[in-house]
Amino acid sequence: LFFSALSDCCSITTCPAAKSSGNLKWTDDQGKKLKCSAPIYIDYALSYIQEILSDERVFPTKAGSSFPSGFIFLIQKIFVMLFRTLAHLFSVHYQDAIAVEIHPQLNTLFTHFITFSHTFRLLEPSETAPIDELIAVLTSQLLAPPISGFSVPTVNVGNLLSASDHTAF
Ligand SMILES: [Zn+2]
């Protein structure tokens, strides 16, 4: 949904190399690493995740069925793909998100995603390291006691990202 809202801004022309927390390469079925543009990577990743989620052997829907061995590794793989997709949106398209006013929701989605990943150790620290500063800002806002009910973090991470070392992205 978020990606479709920003898909006009993320094309082969604007994002020829899939930058997120590092340059991305898609690993194909034969384990071969392919260089690809950001929209192609994201399209591959989201299609792959959709396929896995509807695979009865991975996510059984019948009572009494068990999860496959290696389930946690598949989940980690999915989380890496989601993280790289979100990191790309943050590092390259945050200003676009502000323009269409979806940045508060993007912040909240990312914060929940990171908190969940952290709790269940689904992402390697080395994967998230390039945007640790951003993660610290977003999670500290969410964990702060709400003043009047729940408030969505609206910090302008665009400034934070442009101030950080861009060679890392
Ligand atoms: Zn892009």
pTM over 0.85? The answer is no
As a whole number, the mean pLDDT across the chain is 77
Please give the residue that has the higher pLDDT: either 49 or 34: 49
CA of 62 to the centre of ligand 1 (A): 39
Residue 1 CA to ligand 1 center (angstroms) comes to 15
What is the whole-number distance in angstroms between the Cα of residue 79 and the centre of ligand 1?
A: 19
Q: Is 15 annotated as a binding residue?
A: yes
* 26 bridge partner residues: 34
Dist. CA 167 → ligand 1 center (Å): 16
Q: Could you read off the pLDDT of 83-137 as tens digits, one per residue?
A: 988 988 888 888 988 998 988 998 999 999 999 998 888 999 988 888 888 888 8
Residue 156 corresponds to which amino acid? N
Cα 96 to averaged position of ligand 1 atoms, centre (Å): 10
State pLDDT tens for residues 22-35: 555 556 555 666 67
Q: Please compute the mean of the pLDDT values over residues 33-51 and round it to a whole number.
A: 84
CB neighbours of residue 69 within 10 Å = 7
pLDDT band (50, 70, 90) for residue 168: very low
The CATH fold of domain 2-168: Butyryl-CoA Dehydrogenase, subunit A; domain 3 (1.20.140)
Does 103 carry a binding-site annotation? no
112 known ligand binder: no
Rounded CA-CA distance 162/113 in Å is 23
DSSP labels, 49-60 = HHHHHT-TTTS-
Instruction: Tokens for 113, please give them.
Output: 């995603």
Q: Which residues have a Cβ under 8 Å from the Cβ of 57 and sit 6 or more positions away?
A: 68
Residue 88 Cα, ligand 1 centroid: separation in angstroms?
A: 6
Question: Measured in angstroms, how far is the CA atom of residue 116 from the centroid of ligand 1?
Answer: 25
User: pLDDT band at 139, cuts 50/70/90?
Assistant: confident
Distance from the alpha carbon of residue 112 to the mean position of ligand 1, in angstroms: 22
